[in-house]
Amino acid sequence: MPPLITLSRRAVLKGSGALILGVHLPFLPVSPAVAGSTPVTVNAWLRISPDAVTVIVARSEMGQGVFTALPMLVAEELDVDWQTVRAEMAPLDAAYANPVLGGMRTGGSTSLSGGFLPLRQAGAAARLMLMAAAAQVWRVPVTDLTTAAGVVGHAASDRRASYGALAPLARRQPVPTDPPLRSPSTWTLIGRSPPRLDTPAKVTGQATFGLDVRVPDLLYAAVRHCPILGGTLAKTDTTALKAKTPTGYRPGVIAVVPLGNAVAVVAESWWQARTALAEVTVSWNEGAHGELASTTLDPTLTKALDATDPRTIAVAASRGDIDLAMAGAARVVDSVYRLPFLAHAALEPMNATASVTATGCALWLPTQDQEQYAKILPPLLGLKPDQITVHTTFLGGSFGRRLESDFGVQAALLSKAVSRPVQVIWSREEDIRHDVYRPASVSRVTVGLDAADRVVAWRHRVVAPSILARVDPAAVRNGVDSTAVAGIDDQPYALPALHLDHVRRDTGVPVGFWRSNGHSNNAFSMESMIDEVAAALDRDPYQLRRTLLADAPRALHVLDLAAGGANWSEPLAPVGDGRRGRGIALHQAFGSVVAAVAEVTVFTDGRLRVDRVVAAVDCGVAVHPDLVRGQIEGGILFGLSAALTGKITVDKGRVVQSNFHDVRVLTLAEAPAVEVHLVPSREPPGGVGEAGTPPIAPALTNAIFSATGRRLRSLPVADHDLKTG
């Protein structure tokens, strides 16, 4: 089997918490000078060998750069040469729980904010332990020691010892509690942008993604789900596959396995599995959603805007006296905004590899949530939680999709069924049609303005299905799914009276977390409305935002930086038969503030070109500024792709779209240049993986309004005809 590079090597850990001493030290040298070459586990985050420092990364690498940024935090305090730093994915272990989300999982743009303190502390503690080891050997006060580039030195006696040599003794030192951290002014790594540690493997085809896992005796499975959302498997007819072979099926085919809502064929190769699966005749139990159709769903959501029964209306936030403020308003601006369901469409289709035996289940998979498998799988497999091991591969994109357990559970069930390791790979069609989609939403925003044209009242109703009701029902408080209404009442704008409520309408279309969750819906309605208010007042939309941000210096700075970077006040040069426009939007989420200015050209034949996007971000400390730029660029283009063409529709209970011909995603030719400006900051880091996505859709439609005078209140843009006249 080829080496599974960067896959987790199960570190032997004991207990929990950030500083866990390894317990498998093979020998303890009497002198650091005779230390062997065996890597030493110094703590849960760190293994030191003579020529490398391996930082254990507990968050899944899905492109956001945790394999680089998290090791930087440890290395900054450890005082090592960055060239010697390696990253390795952590195994599933309580030590690696996400301090923000709980459990070992990656999401909500929490990796950097959650790791910023504990990982620096782990590095600092390890450095003190290495120094303590040197002090013990040399019999000198630890205060006389210094460190530099992975070496402890004692100047007075001109002695030096490498971390690799000291590591065996260091791990036996008492673990310092609350070790002092370096002052930001002395940082040598944080704030710089060393090359990503995962790039060399990714550009040579050596990086191991989920479907690159190879284990001995591996079989492959193709799966077909009930095409009707929520339906189940009724009956399979495998006559077409029958043959006089030991398995009873044609050569290569091992088994046909029912999976509740799906059927799988397991074979010697995936192509054999896929072609055989196509010949299995299946009948389905349609369930409750056989007649589900977007044509009836959309009006149902819209109708819920007028809900009056208080039992169906969950108030998420209310400040000031909204009724009084609205009643006293000199004028009111009111609009309804509609957003579609969206697929994740990560480039690597859903897949997982499992090996289930009587004594354990090993999973190798691209997942954002390792933790869940130790809960879900034991009852299904007749195993105990500590018999589940999870090896996390690189994730070929995820955007929230790989928080789900469906593909991992399938792999385990299939391996159990055939008593061999199985890799299940979904076809792209299965991936698109059996996603958990970004919720569709319909929002009404009503804004009251006083006689002096000030915004005095903001009423916002979101009609949307609930994600939390499925994934974490206890988190639904007073009927409010916080993810459905995210990013409205906590924006930096001065809105004296605000009332936000959620009318939950579950539709039968499964919904899940999609890069930035409700922020992507709500930034659109909020930032579109601010532009509509500006238009109603005949004010420049940038200047109106400046007024509303007068008491929010951080956001104001971000707004100014984006507008300045885009030369907001300079008219755009005309282009042939194209009308040009700029649009601006700002959104605060995940501890960061992002503003985006989009520049577009709308041609007379209706073609739209996005010429440029200028963005600004304040994410607190930019641990790795180039990763921040990359995430904002990527988040913006991901959101732009959705805004331009993204939608999932259903008909007869089935998802209509199936592959990249009708799930149109942004191409290189369509992608504008994205300029990203960073606000220098020493505040704790916010998240950036998702923060770029929310503001781009409204910046785009605001730009289209500026160019054409047409206000788009629904997405995608492709549903609108922008032809002149």
Partner 1 sequence: MVTLAVNGRTVTVTVTADTPLLWLLRDHLQLTGTKFGCGAGLCGACTVLVNGTAVRACSVPVSSLTNAEVFTIEGLAGQGDPVAARVIAAWIAEQVPQCGYCAPGMIIATVALLRRIPHPNDDDIDALITNLCRCGTYPRIRKAIHRAAAAAP
- Residue 122 is a binding residue for partner 1 (CB under 8 A): no
User: For residue 133, what are the contacts with CB-CB under 8 A and spacing of at least 6?
Assistant: 32, 152, 166, 167, 169, 170, 172, 173
- Residue 206 is a binding residue for partner 1 (CB under 8 A): yes
Q: Can you read off the two tokens belonging to residue 712?
A: 């788009």
Helix (H) or strand (E) holding 109: none
DSSP-assigned states of every residue in 636-678 = HHHHHHHHHH--B-EETTEES--STTTS----TTTPPEEEEEE
Of the residues 578, 630, 694, 695, which one makes contact with partner 1 according to CB under 8 A:
630
- Residue 372 is a binding residue for partner 1 (CB under 8 A): no
* Residue 56 contacts residue 10 (beta carbons within 8 Å): no
Helix (H, G, I), strand (E, B), or coil: what is residue 299?
A: helix
619: left (phi > 0), else alpha (psi -120 to 50), else beta? Answer: alpha
Minimum gap (Å) between residue 12 Cβ and partner 1 = 29
* Residue 293 contacts residue 651 (beta carbons within 8 Å): yes
Helix (H, G, I), strand (E, B), or coil: what is residue 260?
A: coil
Cα end-to-end span (Å), the chain:
64
- Residue 186 is a binding residue for partner 1 (CB under 8 A): no
Say which residue the tokens 């939680």 belong to. Answer: 385
Q: Which stretch binds partner 1 (CB under 8 A): 24-32, 167-175, 199-207, 570-578?
A: 199-207
Of the residues 200, 260, 553, 709, which one makes contact with partner 1 according to CB under 8 A:
200
CB nearer partner 1, residue 443 or residue 631: 631
CB nearer partner 1, residue 555 or residue 666: 666
- Residue 195 is a binding residue for partner 1 (CB under 8 A): yes
Q: Can you read off the two tokens belonging to residue 319?
A: 């400040």
- Residue 704 is a binding residue for partner 1 (CB under 8 A): no
CA distance 376 to 374: 6
CA distance 688 to 590: 7
Q: Which stretch binds partner 1 (CB under 8 A): 154-162, 206-214, 530-538, 551-559?
A: 206-214
- Residue 599 is a binding residue for partner 1 (CB under 8 A): no
Strands 455-464 and 360-365, sheet pairing: unpaired
In this structure, how many other beta carbons lie within 10 angstroms of the beta carbon of residue 543? Answer: 13
Of the residues 345, 362, 484, 643, which one makes contact with partner 1 according to CB under 8 A:
345
Minimum gap (Å) between residue 328 Cβ and partner 1 = 45
Minimum gap (Å) between residue 200 Cβ and partner 1 = 7
CA distance 560 to 545: 10
- Residue 517 is a binding residue for partner 1 (CB under 8 A): no
- Residue 204 is a binding residue for partner 1 (CB under 8 A): yes
- Residue 575 is a binding residue for partner 1 (CB under 8 A): no
Of the residues 96, 284, 364, 394, which one makes contact with partner 1 according to CB under 8 A:
394
Of the residues 22, 168, 340, 635, which one makes contact with partner 1 according to CB under 8 A:
635
CB nearer partner 1, residue 280 or residue 671: 671
- Residue 520 is a binding residue for partner 1 (CB under 8 A): no
The number of angstroms, rounded, from the C-alpha of 543 to the middle of its chain's C-alpha atoms is: 33
Of the residues 54, 110, 446, 641, which one makes contact with partner 1 according to CB under 8 A:
641
Minimum gap (Å) between residue 202 Cβ and partner 1 = 3
Which of 117, 107, 101 is closest to 45 using CA atoms?
117
- Residue 63 is a binding residue for partner 1 (CB under 8 A): yes
Q: Determine the residue type at 357.
A: T
Minimum gap (Å) between residue 522 Cβ and partner 1 = 21
Q: Which stretch binds partner 1 (CB under 8 A): 121-129, 177-185, 310-318, 660-668?
A: 660-668
- Residue 661 is a binding residue for partner 1 (CB under 8 A): yes
CA dist 205 → 5, 113, 148, 438, 569 (Å): 12, 31, 35, 31, 47
- Residue 220 is a binding residue for partner 1 (CB under 8 A): yes
User: Which regions of 4-137 does DSSP assign to beta strands (E)?
Assistant: 40-43, 46-49, 52-57, 85-89
How many residues interact with partner 1 (rule CB under 8 A)? 66
- Residue 5 is a binding residue for partner 1 (CB under 8 A): no
CB nearer partner 1, residue 352 or residue 548: 352
- Residue 690 is a binding residue for partner 1 (CB under 8 A): no
CA distance 23 to 40: 10
CB nearer partner 1, residue 231 or residue 716: 716
CB nearer partner 1, residue 167 or residue 213: 213
- Residue 83 is a binding residue for partner 1 (CB under 8 A): no
Give backbone dihedrals phi and psi of 223, rounded to 5 degrees, phi first.
-130, 145
Of the residues 421, 634, 698, 716, which one makes contact with partner 1 according to CB under 8 A:
634
- Residue 513 is a binding residue for partner 1 (CB under 8 A): no
- Residue 397 is a binding residue for partner 1 (CB under 8 A): yes
Helix (H, G, I), strand (E, B), or coil: what is residue 48?
A: strand
- Residue 64 is a binding residue for partner 1 (CB under 8 A): yes
Which residues 271-300 are close enough to bind partner 1 by CB under 8 A? 271-272, 275
CB nearer partner 1, residue 22 or residue 635: 635
* Residue 526 contacts residue 441 (beta carbons within 8 Å): no
Which of 631, 213, 627, 254 is closest to 417 using CA atoms?
254
- Residue 666 is a binding residue for partner 1 (CB under 8 A): yes
Of the residues 474, 668, 680, 721, which one makes contact with partner 1 according to CB under 8 A:
668
Q: Can you read off the two tokens belonging to residue 350?
A: 């859903």
CA distance 197 to 297: 46
Q: Determine the residue type at 625.
A: P
- Residue 671 is a binding residue for partner 1 (CB under 8 A): yes
Minimum gap (Å) between residue 262 Cβ and partner 1 = 18
What would the x/- binding string for partner 1 be over residues 98 to 117, using CB under 8 A? --------------------
Which of 597, 587, 596 is closest to 490 using CA atoms?
587
- Residue 321 is a binding residue for partner 1 (CB under 8 A): no
- Residue 205 is a binding residue for partner 1 (CB under 8 A): yes
User: For residue 472, what are the contacts with CB-CB under 8 A and spacing of at least 6?
Assistant: none
Q: Can you read off the two tokens belonging to residue 367?
A: 């997942």
CB nearer partner 1, residue 346 or residue 484: 346
Which residues contribute to the site for partner 1 (CB under 8 A)?
2, 62-65, 193, 195-196, 198-209, 211-212, 214, 220, 269-272, 275, 345-349, 394-399, 425, 427-428, 626, 630-631, 633-638, 640-641, 659-661, 665-669, 671-674
